[in-house]
Structure 1
Amino acid sequence: MNVLPIGSWVAVAVDWIKANLDGLLHVVSTVVSFLVDGLSFVLLMPWFYVVIIIAALIAWLVRSWRLAIGTVISFGLIVAMGLWVPAMQTLALVLVAGAVAVLIAIPLGIWSARNATVRAVLKPALDFMQTMPAFVYLIPAIVFFSIGVVPGLVATVIFALPPGVRFTELGIRGVDSETVEAGQSFGATPGQILRGIQLPLAMPTILAGVNQVIMLSLSMAVIAGMAGADGLGKLVVEAISTVNIAKGVEAGLGVVLIAVFLDRVTASLGSLGEHPASLLGMMARRRTARRLAAAPAVAVTTPEQPAEEKELQNA
């Protein structure tokens, strides 16, 4: 019985890429390591309470003072458990992976929404990326980049990319066709319609995709730890190998606390200024109140007297 050697073909392709594109892989490894290590250094450079205050201000700015208080409590609990350094390493990995995935996903989603052929090619590729077990991505990633943070980030980007592409495509295609036709009737170019009509109207859907990308990136933290990436995922892997319940629970709780903060903040980006307890919402209400207060005064002072009344007054 003949067996179709698909796995052997993939292994040959991986070996060819490793042998012929080693320079490119080295550049990718250097850039990714620089970004993750640099962001980790920035997050760990100040005292921990500075980062906590900044995170709380961000939470209050986009969501509410309640989330700000919850952020202080959550990050304080991470400090109390002695997990501050691995937590910031995980946060740096997630932010860099999420940023890379978003930078790739949004242009692909726009291209897919505007081109049926691209959409037909991308759909099965995204299905494959989303359903393939994430552990499988680590095998070629480790072959290409060796053990460390880079293979973990590459696997994270591949796993988190599909929702960003799908949500962007959905948002662009969901824009009302009559609105697009109105722009075309005024002579707007396709680029102007994209920038001035489609992207602004699709932004809430696109930002929902960004939220999903961030959350999937964080869900890969443990798998990235298996590839040797520092952070909470590495602690979870160590706890599994040593059956250390206490260490595993604490590291897992750290991941949950970071996930809650990132989820609430990124979910609020699509409705900035609409949360009444946020700083942006408070500033928006004050601006509205000032405009309403100024409107009656303008209405009284601006109307001009009719010509007949002016003649009677002059007489």
Structure 2
Amino acid sequence: MEKLIDLGKYIEAGINKLEENFSGLWGAIDDVISWTVNGMNDVFLSIPFYVIIVLVALGAYYANAGKSSFKIEGLKKGGGMTLFVLLGLFLIFAMGYWEEAIQTTTLVIVSTLIALILSIPLGILAARSKTADVIIRPILDLMQTMPAFVYLIPAIFFFSVGNTPGVVATVIFSLPPAVRLTCLGIQNVSEDVIEAGRAFGATEKQILFKIQLPLAKPTILAGINQVILLALSMVVIASMVGAKGLGSIVYQGIQQNDIAKGFESGLGIVILAIILDRITQAVAKK
């Protein structure tokens, strides 16, 4: 069928202009992300695996046990998750994918931090400005409904292959839930509480930081949880543009039709996802 409107041609021309006019910016972003990811990988891989396993297990225990950490009740709450962390991470090490698991975790951490730095201010802006909300909402709809593979094309164009395009694509894919839930959390704060703050002479800045954000914290933390899980779900797709980690092993399994390799690396991703999900959920519930 003949095209009536060649929209893709204009999008491509726009991306070419961005690449030509801001090549220095893309190079700087590539350098910063690559340096951060590689530096974190080196730090984590320099620590003995059993130390990391114990630290994560302790974090899981205290996150789930809460204030009753040193009581029988705390042991019941946090013991199951702690045991899962110990067995799950040791299984990843025993299968020979510890380095890849660290690389995956690093990608998720860096992508999540960048996504939160961008999304929380945008969520606050959307909650406090109807004009901003009208502009931001359709952009978020586009980001959430666009197939994730499409993000890889401009990412490769700007940053070549490697960890950087994987991180950039992951940030774009995982950012919308944090914006939406930050906006929702602030909007759901009772007007009576806000009016009481104004009555006591609070400025708009004080209302935001001392009333709205603290009361919206559970919803914002739920958004952070979603960002982490979406970032983890992108690791396989990001491996197609050179991102390292368990996703690259899954991709190799697909290319080589290697069921064993695909299953083991996929199981490693599932274990990491459960650990990150349970810990962040436990923190959010507090």
Matched to 2:18, the amino acid is I
- Residue equivalent to 2:234: 220
Distance 2:110 2:209 in 1: 26
| Structure-1 separation of matches of 2:169 and 2:241 | 10
CA RMSD of aligned residues (A): 0.8
For the pair 1:89 / 2:90, whether they are aligned, the reply is: no
Offset of residue 207 of structure 1: 0.1
- Deviation of the 1:2 alpha carbon: 4.9
Any idea what the Cα deviations from partners look like across 1:6-33, whole Å, max 9, x if unmatched? 1111111111111110000011001111
- Number of aligned positions between the proteins: 272
Residue correspondence of structure 1 range 42-61 to structure 2 within 5 A: 42-61=43-62
State the distance in 1 between where 2:3 and 2:251 align: 39
Percent of aligned positions with the same letter in both sequences?
49
Where does residue 239 of structure 1 map in the other structure? Answer: 253
Report the 3-state secondary structure (helix = DSSP H, G, I; strand = E; otherwise coil) of the residue aligned with 1:230.
coil
Determine the C-alpha separation between the residues in 1 that align with 2:81 and 2:49.
18
Give ranges in structure 2 of 5+ residues lacking alignment: 65-77
Please give the per-residue CA displacement for 1:224-282, whole angstroms capped at 9, x wherever unaligned. 1011011011111111111000000001000000000000011112233xxxxxxxxxx
1:225–1:2 distance in 2 versus 1, CA, 3 Å:
closer
The equivalent residue for 2:117 is 103
Aligned-partner SS, 1:82: coil
Is 1:26 aligned to residue 27 of structure 2? Answer: yes
Partner AA of 2:107 in structure 1: L
SS in 1 for 2:201: coil
Q: Which residue of 2 aligns with 1:127?
A: 141
Counterpart amino acid of residue 5 in structure 1: D
Please state if 1:37 is matched with 2:38: yes
Determine helix, strand or coil for the equivalent of 1:160: helix
Report the AA paired with residue 189 of structure 2.
Answer: V
**Pairwise mapping of residues 69-84 of structure 1 onto structure 2 (< 5 A)?**
69-84=83-98
Cα distance per residue 1:126-158 (max 9 Å; x no partner): 000000000000000000000100000000000
Amino acid at match of 2:250: V
Alpha-carbon distance between aligned partners in 1 of 2:114 and 2:156, rounded to the nearest angstrom: 19
Q: Distance in 2 between matches of 1:149 and 1:76?
A: 26
CA distance in 2, matches of 1:95, 1:210: 11
Q: Deviations over 1:101-148 (max 9, x none)?
A: 011111100010000000000010000000000000000000000010
Distance 2:282 2:38 in 1: 28
- Residues 106 and 5 of structure 1: is their aligned pair in 2 closer, same or farther, counting only changes over 3 Å? same
Which structure is larger by alpha-carbon Rg, 1 or 2?
Answer: 1
**Aligned amino acid, residue 186 of structure 1:** F
The aligned residue for residue 73 of structure 2 is none
The one-letter amino acid paired with 2:15 is V
Residue 288 (structure 1) aligns with? none
Name the TM-score, length of structure 1 as normaliser.
Answer: 0.85
Within 1, Cα distance between the matches of 2:3 and 2:212? Answer: 52
Distance 2:164 2:3 in 1: 38
Matched letter for residue 96 of structure 2: G
Structure 1 unaligned spans of 5+: 273-315
CA-to-aligned-CA distance 1:168-195 (integer Å, 9 cap, x gap): 0000000011000000111100000111
Q: Deviations over 1:36-63 (max 9, x none)?
A: 1111111111110011011001101111
* CA–CA distance in structure 1, aligned partners of residues 258 and 19 of structure 2: 37
CA distance in 2, matches of 1:38, 1:3: 50
CA distance in structure 1 between the partners assigned to 2:90 and 2:79 by the alignment: 16
Change (3 A) 1:256 1:2: closer
- Structure 1 runs of 4+ aligned residues shifted over 6 Å read none
The yes-or-no answer on 1:249 pairing with 2:263 is: yes
Q: Structure 1: which amino acid aligns with 2:24?
A: G
